[in-house]
Amino acid sequence: MRIAIPKERRPHETRVAASPETVKKLVNLGCEVVIEKGAGTAASFTDMAFKDAGATIAKDAETACKDAAVIFKVQKPIVGGKDDEIGKLAKGTVIISITDPYRSAKEIEAYAKADLTIFAMDFVPRITRAQSMDVLSSQSNLAGYKAVLDGAAVFNRAFPMMMTAAGKINPARVFVMGAGVAGLQAIATAKRLGAVVLATDVRPASKEQVESLGGKFVAVEDDEFKQAETAGGYAKEMSDAYKKKQATLIAETIAKVDMVITTALIPGRPAPVLVTADMVKSMKPGSVVVDLAVETGGNCELSQPGKVVIKNGVNIVGHLNMPGRLATDASDLYARNLFNFFELLFDKENKALSIDWNDEIVKGTCVTHEENIVHPALAHAKEPAKPATKTSASADAAKDADPAVETGEKEGGKA
């Protein structure tokens, strides 16, 4: 069975969907792995390293994907235009990628029309059995780490306290908004650099996590706050009175710190504004805001996607694709996530796809199948066909399939 890994073509994407380590594992399973020339260059994975691991290097994406039963990608396939990635794929081709389904309605419809089976890695259920496949966690972890380093790069002071012959340098004060995977890593990284770290989150359980990393938890800890979490670990809607008290405390905190790192995302919706223009104005000159949600609207009212801007003397960092700024490690972790997920779909004895539609990870991740949108969280979803408990496919079936019709235009977890 052939697996293809094409080069990523979306702007700002430096990652690749395989590493020499996972290529070797796929080959050991009995798969043929074909990688487009230069696919791993931006992540420091050479063609020779992939070849030594057992992959075949193809001259272009079309050659790599020809006759492939499965395609591994980082970002969802491009639909339409000169970089179209689905027009020449065989019907029934399985594509596994980060798909951003909530914001990709037109593309999802095109994938269904082209009869592609799409698995969205960003929809992997957050259950214990799927932890090794959780791309949101693996990539957010790196994003939180890099956010601190990018903030430090434009901060014109040192992070740790220093005692020198010329006098003492006070430690930087860093405020992390959101204590999910990215936020907790940002707390740990800032602490390691010697900063005094404060953090906030809407979930009371986060207090213990923040304090375990050496941070100080910032929240109005009244009776309402103590009851602000469901049995499943999610935040409850707070009263207007509580929101007002919390907003006042946050504004006071932001005015006193040197750096703010925001990490709040809501699946399928624009990022909530946490840092207003007035809050930025209250910050000391030379302070920094790093907005990890800039690609979905931004947590800071003044952040701009892909730019570092200065407003009222405050540096506001809005880099795109933060995990991609650590392309080697991000690709390495993502490739392992993909391999672990792929093992669910693969029959090792028959060396072919064998998709168990009753598996909760498979059901929770599949977006399109047999010309239908099948994920229940998406509009017009239909149940995937179940001719038996499992659906088998092979490379030979992919070879015999008709070409797909070319189409036109193209994070709720706890942490």
Which residues are identified as catalytic? 126, 131, 134, 137, 234
CA-based radius of gyration for the chain: 23
Q: Which residues, including other chains, have CB under 8 Å from residue 119's CB and lie 6 or more apart?
A: 94, 95, 96, 97, 99, 341, 362, 365, 366, 367
The string over 37-76, giving b where at least 16 C-beta atoms fall within 10 Å of a residue's C-beta and e elsewhere, is: bebbebbebebeebeebbbebbeebebbbbbbbbbbbbbb
Instruction: Compute the distance between CA of residue 182 and CA of residue 141 in angstroms, rounded to an integer.
Output: 5
| 171 φ, ψ (degrees, to nearest 5) | -70, 150
The percent helix, strand, coil of the chain (3-state, each to 5) is: 35, 20, 45
Instruction: Compute the distance between CA of residue 181 and CA of residue 145 in angstroms, rounded to an integer.
Output: 10
CA–chain centroid gap for 275, Å, is 22
> 200 with 223: CB under 8 angstroms?
no
